Structure 1
Amino acid sequence: MVDALFHPLNIFLLGLGGGFVIPLLYRLGKPWLHAGFFVALAGIVAVSGVSFLGLLQGGPTIEVLTAVGAPPLSINLRFGIWEGFFTFGVNLVGLLGALHLWDRLKGNYGALLLYLILVMGIDGMVMTRDLFNLFVFLEIVSIATYGLLSLERSAAAMAAAFKYIMATVIASTLFLLGTVLLYYVTGTLNIDALIEARAQITGPIGAAALVMVLACLILELKPFPANGWGLDVYETAPSGVASMVSVGVSAGVFFALMKLLPLFQDQLGIIAVSGGVSFLFSNLIGCKQTKVQRLLGYSSISQMGLMMLALALLTEIGATASIPLVVGGLFVNHLLAKAGLFWLAGVLRQDDVDARTSLSGRPLLLALLAMFLVAIAGLPPFPGFWAKWELVLQLASAGRLPWIAVILTGSLLEAAYMFHWFVRAMRPSDAKAEAGPDTVALLPVYGIALLLAISGYVAARLSGAASPWIFAPLATGIVLYALDRLPGRVKAVLMLLAVALVGSWLAESATGIAWLFAVLLLAGSLVIAAASLYRDDARPGYFPMLAVLLLSIPALLRSVTSLEFFFSWEIITLASCFLIAKGRGAGPHVLSFLLFSLVSAFCLLGGFAGIASVSGTTSLSALMTAGPDATTALVLLGIGFLIKAGAIGVHVWLPGAYSEADDDFTAMLSAVVSKVAIFGLLTGTYLAIRSQAALELAHGMAWVGMLTTIAGAVLALRQTDFKRLLAFSSMSQLGYIVTAIALMSHLGWVTALYLVANHMMVKGILFLAIAGIILRTGTRQFGETGGLARAMPVTFVLFLVAIVSMSGLPPLMGFGGKWLLLSAMTDKGWNFLAAAGLLATFLGFLYMIRLVAGLFLGKRVAGQANVRELPLALLVPQALLVVGILVLSLYPKLLMDPVSAAIDPQFASTLVWQGMSLYTIYGYWNPTPVMIIAVAVAAVLGVIAWAVYRSGLRGSGNLARFYAYYRRVIEQAMPPVATLFWQGVTDFTLATAATFRQVYTGNGQTYAMVVLFYFLALYLASTGPAGFWIAG
């Protein structure tokens, strides 16, 4: 009885029966009408869901015969795992979509009937195994769509609907002609029989028939450039209808292509190219779009293109076992996230990205928008992430590297225009806040968000990466978010407790250098995060996201596979991005940070995929045995880590992100988060450097590090904003660490790890002090404050300790690290690098002196007589970090012994290792001569610089004028080359997008001609020029 009740055939009984009954119920009254509609629609969902569940529990595929006898004498339907997956997904979204569209559907029995028939028609397209029946369902879906498009009566919407009709009529005509010709050639319309008789489909008629059917399906998916008609509909239709066209109708057509794919084995390359071109160019043109629904239309077309590309390529290379994860993941990711975005845009009534619809005061809506955008961009933890990972790995193993470039480039472009919407939505608005959407209107959006989260976990399980620890940071964040209505300081304490407990659990499984980093960064992050207690405001969403960030770092450090590493890396990127976005002036810099971070991530993805293709495993231990064949992959890893470290040329994201983030969070970015990239360099790129095939990379990497140090110092000298100066200082100091890694020696490694510890504590102190100074003075400009030493004596002492340690002067720990580096470069024969290091030391002294003198020395600025010492919540973390500096300065073995234990077992036997313990090397080396030389050189250069300054000066000079003089010299002599270059790249990309965008004229006749020409192009690509002659 139950089996009969939930038999898949009942989907059509409910759809057709509901369609006939709805007009009768309308006569009984609207309550009956509405109840009948939802009973039928919910029944369709229940039938598909229960049947799908039975299949998941091991039940057999359900074959449905619609007449007496077996096919081809009767039309049969099939309900297997794939059919259940697609129908249940589309039906469930259709039910939620009806709730979203209810204001337009209610009371309109024609619209209710059409909506029900639309859902049933999509199910029919998925389940049918008869080619002509597929055409019938395609026409049912088209007619229902035409009718629903009429819910919007504007002139633009009517015009768009007419263009849609013209294009789809051409496509369905091609399908009908192809069906007739296939019947002529094979004598059957049963899809299974056609697949078995594929060898008979030859000659000009057979070839033309296949191309016609294929052309229809591709055209229905709106490929570039034959998609202007679809974009117009996406822009003008009601959001609920546009979403069903995007995720429902497209799903049915894509499944039809998928089940007919065995007929198109000779056209797999054409399908891949069509999908790849649509994915790349739709996302490129989308960069110029500001209309929200049209923007979502570009994304919808690109996602369908990506699914076509993945299906064709995986079939072509024989990786059919990956199709469920890749194609299934991409499908459900697009189905849920894109529907959520359309509905959210409709609920917000936002027509344009640049409209003054600020969500900054609506954290829940902003979180929903971010969630859907993250999913569409293929980022974790959602299904698209796992699907793209598997797709790239399979393509790399098959050597299809150009296709990987297409996928990653298109993904970057899509993220650019989609997150542009997010950045614009989070702008603070000075206008009076309007009443937000009510809870009932948001219920479908909440539902789709929950389904998206669940599907992400299911995809993770299919990927084999669903260990509890990998989701521990996200789970902790969710729990803290549930408590987000508590007072700010209470939330801060709960966050610290959660990070301490969960972080310790995560860190204990790390080993070697990873364990050293985990302990160091966990301790540092807790101390710096405690400074957040200085603020008493609520900071909605800040502490849950901070917990996710801080816990993702030890999760990354305990990773044993590249997939686990990459997952945590992306979570760190996203958490950092959203925390930076909370800074009031951070908006313009969030997108820059995210895009450079994605380029970094894509380099890592390419590198990990390349190594997996060579080694056959995703284990991080494969990095240890990577040979010359993996050199390119390892270089990609190095580039990815260097981008994230803010190396010269790709540093343009760093100053804006650091300086405009919340002041206490900037300390976390510089002191803790930046070390994740350094860990990657230590454990990943270093292995490329030490391989026999890539020894020459070491010197190049060392120069990258040193030039980063010099450039960061020079840029710091140009700043009048002392927080921005510290941002460039952080870039400069990280350059030293990169250079130390490239030394390929025990001395280099102890230097790198010493500098990591020193940089974490120094930058934590300095940025927290700056946060307090900004709090007390209300300014970030040198010219607007000064002489604070008497008002802030404790801060001055702590600040001075950090400056001395950063400068490398004795007796603090920075002394050991800085002079170890200079000595090691000299010992290695890198004399020019050592000379550059002396110049960097001099430049560092200059900006450090300016920082101390500009803030604490000299006269007090008028209006700051009542400035007082920093809050205790800021002083205590600084004091703890100073204690750390003093302890490691007095007892260096506390750090060196763990370093030695972490390094020696792995590398003592390698070519570049000397076999001595770190403590022995450190004990034998005398830093005094190097220190004296460096300080003397810096002093001489300082005297020369002062003399040059005084030579052109009349009257007395002072330190402020000295820095102002050289700031002008630097600005004139050193234009911002990197900024200009990347701005040029951006302008070129947008100009190219504008050029290709011109294919969309808005003329329906032109669109119809493009559709016909697209068919001819497919025919030519499939048959070659001979096809036209034979046809003639």
Structure 2
Amino acid sequence: MSAVFQPIGIFLFGIGGGFLIPLLHRLGKPWLYAGFFIALIGLTLCSLVPLIAVVATGTPFQIHTAGAEPPVSINLRFGLAEGAVAACVNAVAILLAVALWDRLKASYVWLLLFLLVVMGINGMIMTRDLFNLFVFLEIVSVGTYGLLGMATSRAGISAGFKYVIATVIASNLFLLGAILLYQATGHLNIDLLTQSRAAMTGPIAGTAIVMLLACLIVELKPWPANGWALDVYETAPSALAAFLSVCASAGMLFALWNLMPLFGRHIDLIVFSAALTFVVSNLIGLRQEKTQRLLGYSSIGQMALMLLAIAALTRAGADEIMPLIAFGLFVNHLLAKAGLFCLAKAAKAWQVSQGLRTRSHRLHLVLLALFFVAIAGLPPFPGFWAKWELVMQLAAFADYGLIAAILAGSLLEATYLFRWFIRGLAPAETPESESAPRHLMLPILVFAGLLVAAGVAGAFVSGVGIVPALLPVIVGAALALLEGFPARVKGVAVLAAILLGTLAMPEADGLAGLFAALLLFGGVVIAAAGLHRVEPRPGHYPLMAVLLLAIQALVRAQTGLAFYVAWEFVTLSSFLLIAQGRASGPELLRFLVFSLAAAFLLLAGFAIVAAQTGSQDLSALTAAGPDATWGIALMTAGFLVKAAALGVHVWLPGAYADAPDDVSAMLSAVVSKAAIFGLLLGGYAVLRSGADTDFGPVLAWMGMATTVAGALMALSQNDVKRLLAYSSMSQLGYIVTAIGLMSHLGWVTALYLVASHMLVKGILFLAVAGVILRCPARRLDHLGGLLRAMPVTAAATAVALLSMSGLPPLMGFGAKWLLLSAMMEKGWSALAVAGALATFLGLWYMLRLFAAIFLGRRADTVSELREAPVMLLLPQAILIGGILVLSLFPKLLMDPVSAAIDRQFAATLVWEGQPLQTIYGLWNPVPVMLTTLAAAAILGGLWWLAARTGGFPGALRDAILSMPALPGWAMPNLAQSGWAAAAAGAHSLADLIRGVYTGNGQLYALLVLAYFLVLYFASRAVLAG
């Protein structure tokens, strides 16, 4: 077979097919269609079969024509890089031809042009001669001009004309550059030019090189000389726009890569232009509503990212790793963007605001999410592994500015892409009656399958380990096969999968082991509460399994990459679970944007620490040294964002309040602890490495400010779930403060608070879930009088609130007692006073919460009620059992907590002259517990008697019930206003920048010429400097 399908056959099938297509047209359409696909498939096999041979032998094909050696002959090279790119482009071209079939089959001319363009792209990839590169460039350009004739609208014809103008200017620049270079060197062979590039110092050769560079970059659509391309992406048929975006651009990019040695003196300009284009294109994308134009901005940005990676790594001398990074980004964009353009047509989603307008809404939504996750550079797709390695390499060479540009552009791109996804969550009001045609859906599904396979291959190449890294999504995918089963069957399957999946993971010990055990217990118990739901809840159960297994993978991670993969899985699964609730678009998008910002801060921090230590192992954090201060600071900032620290907390209330009720419990009780675990890692790194940072005091004050502000904001809420959300923010602030003590006592307190918060918030959110289930209200002023109707729920709420308040005898008392006393001993009296104030504010909103729901008269909106379902009460009972056990026998938790803390703290394991274990040994909570229970029973009996006889003084009860919320003016939401102003500013800047896209072809031509002139004079300045 390898003897038949040779690289030269690409041109035989292309040119031969081009000659035969008009003849086959005369024989009839079946002959025509068969001939077209035979030629296209044959062309693809001529790249795929030799690629296999190259991989097997390691020897590239060197093809010389006319029986002579270069530069006399035309020579082609088909090595590993050429073969991989050509095979990918050709395979995708076949699928896009199928997707475009409704247009292609209308005329044999379209079939001929499509085949010739594919052949021309292969020529651009393989040629080793500048003149032949120009010929293939012209074949692609002229063929594209013809294919753009498929657009029948006035806007489409106009866009095609602008495309012609811009690319003709670029082609003329290339031709003039080739002529001048021939004048300077006497040949146009790329290999010979590369060998003699050091001698090309004259003005003619210098001008020629700038012209060649300008042509290729203009063909890749740099900002601001890219308006012509955006108009084409918007108006061309979807599959043709995809073809131009991923296939034609690939040929241009590969040609530039082949010529990169000639552009060595201009490498800084290439990097700057690519970085600017990546950021600006994605910034402007924020304001785009037309889906194909939006995808055009993304395509331009992705090509700029690939060019940035190639140029920056070439400049750094990272030639070995550069092809893998560039190829990962290329495959990711090739498959995901081709799928997205086709999916936009299949779903009839021409405007972002329209949603998805077909009957196959759920399938289209899944595909949309898959492609968006890939384009955003998130796991498990190839772009993620490539972007991780790219950032690691740039950090190793201290290119921090480029890291900032890449992460900023990536965040902007994810924002506008997922905005589209959120809009698509709700089916269109008037969905189309017919399904998407099969010839369009088949390529989309193949693109999705290939993208998943490429992601798995990327995980293997990265060395992270496929099973440990991807176990959460593997289990989630397996559970998705059970979608047709009853809800409770799926719920039980999820619980079993979580337990078995955890057993399959490496064993954790120390701090990680403690977190793993606590979060597994809490996660399984709270997930079990979902068994009270009998509706199908499509996607909920697989996503819950992904979330809880990703948390287990996160605390067990040994490397930064494994940690980051698990962190992103937690982010994505949380986002999709929240999306199943009543979350509004802005709230859901805000959660994702802040979560991704936190993740990108972690990525930058990991990269800086890895660059300083030479290792990506998490254990290297302890050896980072003072030079890693910025890396640790960035990681800490990322963890604080996810811990909802004051100022970056704006994502939390909407996410917790609008998520499904059992998901809210999971987010507050379990998921929030991932950030706490990360903060402990950061603190441990600071203590061991001696990094120059005021980590402890800053963290402690940040935590206490969050605690006080969260309590104040909780007091201003009338929505019960928002109140609990701000309460969660406040309680997390206590934990952050305890970590900031940077002592054994502080960290023991922090871990004790982690357990307490998990149990308490699990109970409260599940109790409120029961209340909402039985009552058609969430506002506190619409509730009331539920004590008799829901006594078990009321008792569970009372226990949780008592523990959270820090009053004896429950476990919350011990934790807050230690925290406040430790702050006083450290001399942080102001912090201790603030803690006391926060405790008072907490008591206020807790009393208000309980009174508003359970006491007083039953609200008019609440009719006949009954207790919450047993499957919702049982998890609360288990969590209450945990509180009672740990309150009665605190050493059950304190001993493993103390052992989990590093022995480095052993010298500080003393408080008021006594070892901490002695203090807990002297504290016997059993008598206090029994006394409190007896007092509560007596008071409860008196209360019941007074209520029965009507003798209870109503004034006191009315005072509790009428306790007003803190007025809004007393706690202005400055953070919300500040971030809203920042978003508005970004949108205004995007509007200002995209003002150059007027649709005027003359202006676009002038911008192309201006880009060349700026590049020319900038290169002169660089060379002169």
State whether TM-score is above 0.5: yes
The aligned runs of 1:565-604 (5 Å cut-off) are 565-604=563-602
Cα 1:8/1:1000, change in 2 over 3 Å: same
- In the alignment, is residue 339 of structure 1 matched against residue 346 of structure 2? no
Taking the TM superposition and a 5 Å limit, the aligned residue runs for 1:84-123 are 84-123=83-122
> Which aligned pairs between 1:772-783 and structure 2 lie closer than 5 A?
772-783=770-781
Rounded Cα–Cα distance in structure 1 between residues aligned with 2:315 and 2:999? 37
- Secondary structure, counterpart of 1:64 in structure 2: strand
Q: How far apart in 2 are the matches of 1:568 and 1:321? A: 28
- Given the superposition, is the C-alpha separation of residues 433 and 217 from structure 1 closer, same or farther in structure 2, using an over 3 Å criterion? closer
Structure-1 residue corresponding to 2:995: 998
Match 2:820 to one of 822, 841, 846:
822
| 1:878, distance to aligned residue in structure 2 (A) | 0.7
1:385-534 to 2 correspondence within 5 Å?
Answer: 385-431=384-430, 434-506=433-505, 508-534=506-532
**1:812-851 to 2 correspondences below 5 Å:** 812-851=810-849
Q: Is the 8 A contact 2:709 2:730 kept in 1?
A: yes
Deviation at 1:920, TM superposition (A): 3.1
Aligned-pair distance for 1:800? Answer: 1.1
2: CA distance, partners of 1:963 / 1:418: 46
* Cα displacement (A) at 1:606: 1.0
Q: Call closer, same or farther: CA 1:435–1:854 in 2, change over 3 Å.
A: farther
**Letter paired with 1:669:** L
Matched, 1:619 2:617: yes
Residue 1021 of structure 2 aligns with an amino acid whose one-letter code is G
Structure 2 CA distance for partners of 1:434 and 1:580, relative to 1, 3 Å: farther
Change (3 A) 1:1004 1:915: farther
Measure how far apart 1:957 and its partner are: 7.2
The CA distance in 1 between the partners of 2:615 and 2:910, in whole Å, is 27
2:273 corresponding residue in structure 1: 274
Query: Which residue is 1:207 aligned to?
Result: 206
Give the partner amino acid of 1:127: M
Code of the residue aligned with 1:91 in structure 2: it is N
Per the alignment, in what secondary structure is the counterpart of residue 152 of structure 2? coil
Structure 1: distance between partners of 2:432 and 2:756 = 46
CA distance in 2, matches of 1:540, 1:631: 45
Alignment-mate amino acid for residue 971 of structure 2 = M
Within 5 A, what are the aligned runs for 1:16-31? 16-31=15-30
Please list the CA deviations of residues 207-248 of structure 1 after superposition, one character each: whole Å capped at 9, or x if unmatched. Answer: 000000000000000000000000000000001110111101
User: Secondary structure of 2:63's match?
Assistant: strand
Which residue of the partner structure matches residue 232 of structure 1?
231
Tell me: CA distance 1:964–1:655, structure 2 relative to 1, closer, same or farther (3 Å).
farther
Residue matched to 2:719:
721
**In 1, are the aligned partners of 2:361 and 2:427 still within 8 Å (CA)?**
no
How far apart in 2 are the matches of 1:672 and 1:614?
33
Deviations 1:348-406 (A, max 9, x none): 12211011436897222111101111111111111111111111111111111111111
Q: What is the match of residue 1024 of structure 1? A: 1021
- Deviation (angstroms), 1:439: 4.4
Q: Tell me if structure 2 keeps the 8 A contact 1:563–1:618.
A: yes
Q: Gaps (5+ residues) in structure 1?
A: 932-955
1: CA distance, partners of 2:766 / 2:203 = 75
The amino acid that maps onto 1:989 is A
In structure 2, the residue matched to 1:658 is: 656
Go from structure 1 to structure 2 and tell me whether the alpha carbon gap of 1:320 and 1:798 turns closer, same or farther (over 3 Å shift). same
Q: Is the 8 A contact 2:480 2:539 kept in 1?
A: yes
Partners of 1:363 and 1:541 within 8 A in 2? no
* Number of corresponding residues: 1001
The CA deviation at 1:696 is 2.6
Aligned partners of 2:354 and 2:428 also within 8 Å:
no
Say if 1:244 and 1:569 are closer, same or farther in 2 by CA, change over 3 A. same
1:264-343 matches, within 5 Å, as: 264-343=263-342
Contact 1:746 1:918 in 2 (8 A): no
Q: Is the 8 A contact 1:64 1:78 kept in 2?
A: yes
**Other structure's SS at 1:63 match:** strand
Given that 1:171 and 1:216 are in contact with CA atoms closer than 8 Å, whether structure 2 keeps it comes out as yes
What is the distance in 1 between the residues matched to 2:789 and 2:908? 55
Aligned residue among 637, 640, 654 for 2:638: 640
Confirm whether residue 73 of structure 1 aligns to residue 68 of structure 2: no
CA contact 2:656–2:667 (8 Å) conserved in 1: yes
1:916-931 equivalent positions in 2, closer than 5 A: 918-923=916-921
TM-superposed CA distance for 1:188, in Å, is 1.0
Instruction: Please tell me the residue identity of whatever aligns with 2:810.
Output: L
Q: Does the Cα contact within 8 Å between 2:359 and 2:433 map onto a contact in 1? A: no
1:769 — aligned with what? 767
Mapped to 1, the partners of 2:58 and 2:66 lie a distance apart of 24
Verify the 8 A CA contact 1:78 1:127 in the aligned structure 2: yes
* C-alpha distance after superposition, 1:558-591 (max 9, x if no partner): 1111011011101110111111111133433111
Residues 911 and 667 of structure 1: CA distance in aligned 2, closer, same or farther (over 3 Å):
closer
Secondary structure of the residue aligned to 2:377 is: coil
> Which amino acid in the other structure matches residue 1008 of structure 1?
A
User: Residues 689 and 698 of structure 1 are in contact (CA less than 8 Å); yes or no, is this contact kept in structure 2?
Assistant: no
CA distance in 1, matches of 2:789, 2:1019: 80
What per-residue deviation string (whole Å, max 9, x for no partner) do you get for residues 437-468 of structure 1? 24443110010011111111222222211341
Q: How does 1:164-243 map to 2 (within 5 A)?
A: 164-243=163-242
Contact in 2 for aligned 1:61/1:79 (Cα 8 Å):
yes
Counterpart contact for 2:583–2:654, Cα < 8 Å: no
In the aligned structure 2, how far is the partner of 1:367 from the partner of 1:69?
A: 55
2:734 maps to a residue whose letter is Y
Q: Which amino acid aligns with 2:991?
A: A
Contact 1:359 1:427 in 2 (8 A): no
Alpha-carbon separation, structure 2, partners of 1:910 and 1:808? 24
Q: Cα 1:35–1:471, aligned 2, differ >3 Å: closer, same or farther? A: same
1:162 paired residue number:
161
**2:749 alignment counterpart:** 751
The code of the aligned residue for 2:39 comes to: A
Distance 2:274 2:1022 in 1: 23
**What's the % identity of the aligned pairs?**
57
> Deviation of residue 141 (structure 1)?
0.4
Please tell me whether residue 862 in structure 1 is matched to residue 860 in structure 2. Answer: yes
The 8 Å contact of residues 909 and 915 in structure 1, kept in 2 or not, is answered as no
Distance 1:307-1:913 versus aligned 2 partners, 3 A rule:
farther
Q: Which stretch of structure 1 is more off in the superposition, 481-490 or 726-735?
A: 481-490
CA distance in 2, matches of 1:357, 1:260: 43
Shift of 1:428: 5.0
Change (3 A) 1:959 1:345: farther
- Equivalent AA in structure 1 for residue 389 of structure 2: E
Structure 1 contact 745–914 (Cα < 8 Å) conserved: no
**Take 1:863 and 1:53, find their aligned partners in 2: how far apart are those partners?**
71
Q: Superposition RMSD on alpha carbons, in Å? A: 2.2
1:372 aligns with 2:371: yes
Query: In the aligned structure 2, how far is the partner of 1:875 from the partner of 1:13?
Result: 73
- The corresponding residue for 1:934 is none
Question: Which blocks of at least 5 consecutive residues in structure 2 are unaligned?
Answer: 930-953
State the secondary structure of the residue aligned to 1:77: strand
> Is the 8 Å Cα contact of residues 710 and 729 (structure 2) preserved in structure 1?
yes
Matches of 1:730 and 1:151 in 2, distance apart?
57
Equivalent-residue separation in structure 1 for 2:788 and 2:925 (angstroms):
35
Counterpart contact for 1:751–1:820, Cα < 8 Å = yes
**Corresponding residue for residue 948 of structure 2:** none
* Distance in structure 1 (CA, Å) of the matches to 2:499 and 2:385: 29
Cα separation, partners in 2 of 1:207 and 1:921, compared to 1, 3 Å: farther
- Normalized against structure 2, the TM-score is what? 0.95
**Structure 2 match to 1:605:** 603
Greater shift in the superposed pair: 103-112 or 634-643:
103-112
Deviations 1:642-701 (A, max 9, x none): 000101000000000000001111100001000000000112234326654446321111
| C-alpha distance in 2 between matches for 1:288 and 1:916 | 62
Distance 1:360 1:925 in 2: 65
Amino acid at match of 2:763: I
The superposition leaves residues 963-1001 of structure 1 with CA deviations (integer Å, 9 ceiling, x where unpaired) of 87753x531222110000000000000000000010111
- Tell me the SS of whatever aligns to 1:922: helix
CA shift digits 1:617-664 (9 cap, x unpaired): 001001112211111111111110000010100000000000000111
Larger deviation: 227-236 or 677-686?
677-686
Q: How does 1:885-896 map to 2 (within 5 A)?
A: 885-896=883-894
